[in-house]
Amino acid sequence: MSKGNTQFRLNRVSLVKSVFELKTIGFKPSDKLSVDINTSFNASDESVLVFVEVKVSDSTQPEELTLEVRMAGEFSINKLGEEGAKMSVGQFAKVNGPAIIYPYVRQVVRHLTLESSMPSPVILPIVNFQAFQQKTDR
């Protein structure tokens, strides 16, 4: 491997926050769900903690549905050279880390809404985190 290369290992995924509230039993969301995705991270020399938070609401009736899920992924860092390592950790934490954690968030959202009285579960869209990050950086 080249100098400055960094390897990451997923140690654990944790559910940090889960909020689900329906105002009306049997509420059927419209086709206009609003999905707000936010990512953040904390890095040290040995590990990086990546957070993915999703808030879902119905654009036409926002008071009917409250759904928030925040998950964290803890990754260990193995640096195979010091040159350029910090940049690759930041890139990993902004793109690759969220892409790894997001399917867990999708699973929690689907499960929460499947177990509710909603007629069908909410299935979050697949996200290209590289494009998402480029859009966020603008």
Average pLDDT over residues 37-53: 95
Asked, for residue 135, whether it belongs to a domain, the answer is: no
Cα gap 29→7, rounded to integer Å: 42
Asked, for residue 1, whether it belongs to a domain, the answer is: no
Asked, for residue 129, whether it belongs to a domain, the answer is: no
Give the domain range for residue 62.
Answer: 6-119
Domain of 82, CATH number, reads 3.10.420.10
The pTM score is 0.87
pLDDT for 68-78, tens place per residue? 999 999 999 98
**Residues 56, 70: contact at Cβ < 8 Å?**
no
Q: Where are the beta strands (DSSP E) in the chain?
A: 6-22, 33-43, 47-58, 65-79
Asked, for residue 126, whether it belongs to a domain, the answer is: no
pLDDT for 101-115, tens place per residue? 999 999 999 999 999
Average pLDDT over residues 62-73: 95
Contact partners, residue 86, CB within 8 Å, separation at least 6 = none
pLDDT at residue number 101: 98
CA geometry: angle 59, 62, 65, nearest 5 deg: 115
Asked, for residue 29, whether it belongs to a domain, the answer is: yes
| Helical (H) or strand (E) element with 107 | helix 97-114
Cα gap 128→94, rounded to integer Å: 12
What tokens appear for 88 in the block?
């690759």
pLDDT at residue number 1: 38
pLDDT at residue number 25: 86
Number of alpha carbons in the 13 Å side-chain half-sphere of residue 50:
29
What tokens appear for 59 in the block?
């654009």
What tokens appear for 87 in the block?
């940049």
